[in-house]
Amino acid sequence: MLNPNWARWIMASVAVYFQPFIEGILKLPLLTEGVDGREHEKMHYNHAELRVNGPFIVEPSRNYYILNVDINVILTELMNDHKDNAYDLMTWCGVIQSAMDGPIDVFRYGNEEGDDQEWIGCLVPRRGRYDSNRVLHFGQVSRVDRVRQSEVDGRFKMDLYS
């Protein structure tokens, strides 16, 4: 039977997974879509935004589920005239793309009944022909604002039995 908590547990686990890469290695503030507001003070600095789409659930046989999840990290760089390295944004993308190459453990995170922090499975990168992790560069987003953006996009799946 489908578990109504899967989406929440996946979202929380993905946020916990990416935090040390984004805030630790890259030293960027992390905004999680649906958790942090867009008016947040982090929006005024170089930052990363995490989005999780899914799970898109298929039940190929009784009580066996395939959960497909798309993860996007949008990186925003506020360009200034005193920039030390014009390639910072690309470096950030490389770190995130590398992080998307490994499995992401999913735990029962939360404060609701049944949220016992237990491991339930792993999101692994989908390896189909069109499923590779991608880096998309949007460049400067407007003529007026000196802001550049890029996105790292990954597609994952998790097999669950219930």
pLDDT tens per residue, range 101-160: 989 999 999 999 889 999 999 999 998 887 778 999 887 777 776 788 999 999 999 999
Check whether 22 has a pLDDT greater than 90: yes
Is residue 109 included in any domain, yes or no? yes
Mind listing the pLDDT tens digit for each residue in 44-98? 688 999 999 999 999 999 999 999 999 999 999 887 755 667 788 999 999 999 9
For residue 144, is it within any domain? Answer: yes
55 in any annotated domain: yes
1, part of any domain:
no
- The reported pLDDT for the residue numbered 102 is 84
pLDDT of residue 87: 85
Sequence-separated contacts (24+) of 113-120 with Cβ below 8 Å? 114/5, 115/5, 115/9, 120/9, 120/160
What pLDDT score was predicted for residue 99? Answer: 95
Q: What confidence tier does 4 reach under pLDDT thresholds 50, 70, 90?
A: very high
Q: Which range marks the domain in which residue 132 is found?
A: 6-161
Looking at residue 98, which CATH number applies to its domain?
A: 3.30.2000.30
- Give the model's pLDDT for residue 44: 63
Strands 47-61, 119-125: pairing kind: unpaired
Number of domains in the chain: 1
- Flag whether 123 is in a domain: yes
- Tell if the pTM clears 0.85, that is, is over it: yes
In a domain, 38, yes or no: yes
